[in-house]
């Protein structure tokens, strides 16, 4: 595999635009704080106890967000640099420094929220504080869950320790793991890595898929005790913080500050349960199309139809995407073209020790960077569309909003990404004149909805299940985790799938289980995105501008309110039901093409 130092410049993201070198990064660090021990931000601490009027409050908030902005820039560079080579020592060093400094900042600024909550509401609503109105109103809302200063500082100090499980998972899975080569039906060896796993699972050689599944999942099973302890530690940190903040549950603690009803989460699960037969119908169709006596997990990702040409260069993927987003207008296209073609937003290909998967990153003062591990499959093209959706959301929000509202809430985070994927799929289906390729594309669309709506809802249900178990003092042993995970798979995929014992360990390889109730937003996101896509494609300028306004709004209001303003109500089941109905429609259309 290619070493990081041998990756061509045009295939790397342009981190130099953020800092030209690590030396420049360290110079900026010393400008922000040259202190080697706490307090690292003494000017901020000097304001402690002074928030008596609106002018002092404005001074404190201005300094707070100024430090946060500079620190975020340092952290993002270090984080992105580290992700391109997780074993490189310089990257490890600056990532550790920035992470530690970030947690120190949380500790040293913990007093600010506590003091602001003691200020009269009339003072907080003074016109001089208008740029911070929503921030202050959001803060006031969580007053019942805000602790005395000493306790808030203690929780902030515990934050660094509580982040250890996620880091341990990443270090073990991304840096320490290596996989044996796997054989296909002709005894030919194929390399296996995180990126190659997905590629192998799409291969038409069933023996290769089975061996890939066995080797890859088998590796995680070897460390099932380690992963269960890491996951348990992550969940215990959520419970610790929820109890400390006087929430009824970890789920409420994760959603309440963002004004998201717990029922939105539970409605998603119940809506999918009510219409789970739609997924069972698709699994049955897949089994029939593959002509197998038993359908296994390793059969779920291979294309049902092999098109004449479905391998793409990275440049072709960019061009397909740029054409597909035409419904969003010329300005949107121009910004995206500039980012991908000239500004080098994307780190394109896998290299040795690079973080697996893909994401959109960056900060208020950087490009909205895209990490990729592009292999030329159609799925990789959709991954680019997905991450570019995130990046354009970030870019539009940061262009329109001040720093304090430049980031959008996680609940709306997956809408722009999934919206772009839907535009890409519609464009590809429209272009094809081949019945065979249309069937292939429909399969891909069905797989996309299956993976994003049904699978992520299953993940969300598992996440809620294990948090609830831990809150009831049920030990999260490997046996418990494996049994419960397999039960959920059985319910979601139905009777037509053969359940191999190794499938029960899959939870150990899912990085999002080490987050905090994140995955449900993929499912709610695709539901909202499909509605927005339909409205924009079938509507006019009004519908497009309303959607773009949502992207430009950043974090200037609560996510459910922003969605309602744009025309989608996620408190109701209608969006999820409509997405499942779309899935059923595509299943029937594919059936008519294949049989």
Residue owning tokens 């430049």: 406
Widest Cα–Cα separation across the chain = 77
Helix or strand run (H / E) with residue 555: none
Catalytic sites, residue numbers: 387
What is the Cα–Cα distance from 28 to 507, expressed in whole angstroms?
Answer: 40
Neighbouring-strand partners of residue 190: 182
Q: Peptide bond preceding 39: is omega within 30 degrees of 0, i.e. cis? A: yes
Q: Tabulate helix, strand, coil % of the chain (nearest 5).
A: 70, 0, 30
**Contact in structure between 558 and 571 (CB atoms under 8 Å):** no
Angle at 145 between CA 143 and CA 148, to 5 degrees: 80
> Would you list the DSSP string of 42-80?
HHHHTTTT---SHHHHHHHHHHHHHHHHHHHHHHHHHHH
Structure tokens given for 248: 């009824």
The enclosing H or E element of 37 equals none
Q: Which helix (H) or strand (E) holds 412?
A: helix 410-431
Alpha carbon distance 336, 389 (integer Å): 9
Helix (H) or strand (E) holding 359: strand 359-360
Please give the torsion angle defined by the CA atoms of residues 427, 429, 433 and 436, in that order, rounded to the nearest 10 degrees. 150
**Nearest Cα residue to 524 out of 281, 341, 261, 287:** 261
**For 286-424, where are the E strands, in sequence order?**
346-347, 359-360, 370-371
Residue pair 517/564 in contact (Cβ under 8 Å)? The answer is no
Do strands 370-371 and 346-347 pair parallel, antiparallel, or not at all (unpaired)? parallel
Round to whole Å and give the CA distance between 231 and 165. 7
The single residue listed with the structure tokens 């093409």 is 593
Q: How far apart are CA 432 and CA 440, in angstroms?
A: 11
C-alpha of 488 from chain center: 22
Residue 190: in which H helix or E strand, if any? strand 189-190
Structure tokens belonging to residue 244: 């400390």
378 phi, psi to nearest 5 deg: -60, -35
Angle at 100 between CA 99 and CA 103, to 5 degrees: 90
Q: Is 385 in a helix, a strand, or coil?
A: helix
What gap in Å lies between CA 224 and CA 138, rounded to an integer? 41
How far apart, in Å, are the Cα atoms of 225 and each of 220, 221, 316, 324, 443? 10, 8, 44, 46, 37
What gap in Å lies between CA 482 and CA 502, rounded to an integer? 9
């Amino acid at each position: 595999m290619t070493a990081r130092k041998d990756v061509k410049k045009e295939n790397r993201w342009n981190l130099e635009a953020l800092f030209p070198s690590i030396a420049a990064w360290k110079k900026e660090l010393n400008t922000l704080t040259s202190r080697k021990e706490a307090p690292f931000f003494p000017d901020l601490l000097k304001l402690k106890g002074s928030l008596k009027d609106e002018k002092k409050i404005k001074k404190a908030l201005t300094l707070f967000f100024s430090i946060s902005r500079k620190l975020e820039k340092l952290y993002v560079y270090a984080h992105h640099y580290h992700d391109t080579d997780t074993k490189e020592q310089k990257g490890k060093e600056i990532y550790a420094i920035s992470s530690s400094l970030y947690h120190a900042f949380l500790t040293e600024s913990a007093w600010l929220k506590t003091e602001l909550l003691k200020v009269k509401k009339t003072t907080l609503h003074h016109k001089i504080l208008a740029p911070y109105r929503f921030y202050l109103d959001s803060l006031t809302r969580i007053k019942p869950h805000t602790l005395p200063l000493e306790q808030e500082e203690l929780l902030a100090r515990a934050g660094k320790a509580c982040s250890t499980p996620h880091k341990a998972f990443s270090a073990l899975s991304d840096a320490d793991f290596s996989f044996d080569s796997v054989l296909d039906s002709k005894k030919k060896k194929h390399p296996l890595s995180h990126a190659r796993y997905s590629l192998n699972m799409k291969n038409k050689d069933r023996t290769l898929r089975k061996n890939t599944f066995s080797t890859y999942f088998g590796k995680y099973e070897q460390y099932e005790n380690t992963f269960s302890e890491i996951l348990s530690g992550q969940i215990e940190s959520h419970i610790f913080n929820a109890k400390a903040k006087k929430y009824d549950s970890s789920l409420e603690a994760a959603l309440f500050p963002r004004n998201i009803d717990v029922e939105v989460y539970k409605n998603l699960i119940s809506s999918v349960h009510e219409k789970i037969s739609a997924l069972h119908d698709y699994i049955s169709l897949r089994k029939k199309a593959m002509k197998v006596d038993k359908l296994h997990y390793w059969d779920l990702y291979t294309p049902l139809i092999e098109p004449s040409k479905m391998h793409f260069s990275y440049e072709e993927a960019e061009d397909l995407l740029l054409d597909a987003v035409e419904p969003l207008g010329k300005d949107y296209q121009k910004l995206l073209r500039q980012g991908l073609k000239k500004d080098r937003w994307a780190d394109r290909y896998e290299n040795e020790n690079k973080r697996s998967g893909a994401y959109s990153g960056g900060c208020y003062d950087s490009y909205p960077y895209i990490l990729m591990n592009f292999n030329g499959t159609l799925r990789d093209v959709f991954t680019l569309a997905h991450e570019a959706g995130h990046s354009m959301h970030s870019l539009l929000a940061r262009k329109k909003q001040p720093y304090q509202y430049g980031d959008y809430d996680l609940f709306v985070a997956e809408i722009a990404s999934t919206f772009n994927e839907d535009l890409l799929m519609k464009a590809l289906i429209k272009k094809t004149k081949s019945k065979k390729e249309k069937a292939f594309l429909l399969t891909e669309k069905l797989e996309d909805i299956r993976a994003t709506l049904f699978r992520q809802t299953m993940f969300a249900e598992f996440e809620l299940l294990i948090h609830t178990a831990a809150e009831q003092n049920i030990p999260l042993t490997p046996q418990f985790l494996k049994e419960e995970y397999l039960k959920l798979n059985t319910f979601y995929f139905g009777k037509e799938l053969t359940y191999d014992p190794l499938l029960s360990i899959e939870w150990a390889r899912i990085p999002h289980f080490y987050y905090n109730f994140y995955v449900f937003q993929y499912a709610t996101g695709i539901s909202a995105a499909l509605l927005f896509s339909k409205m924009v494609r079938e509507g006019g300028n009004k519908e497009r501008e309303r959607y773009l306004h949502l992207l430009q709004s950043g974090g200037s209001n609560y996510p459910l309110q922003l969605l309602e303003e744009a025309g989608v109500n996620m408190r109701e089941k209608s969006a999820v039901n409509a997405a499942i109905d779309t899935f059923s429609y595509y299943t029937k259309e594919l059936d008519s093409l294949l049989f």
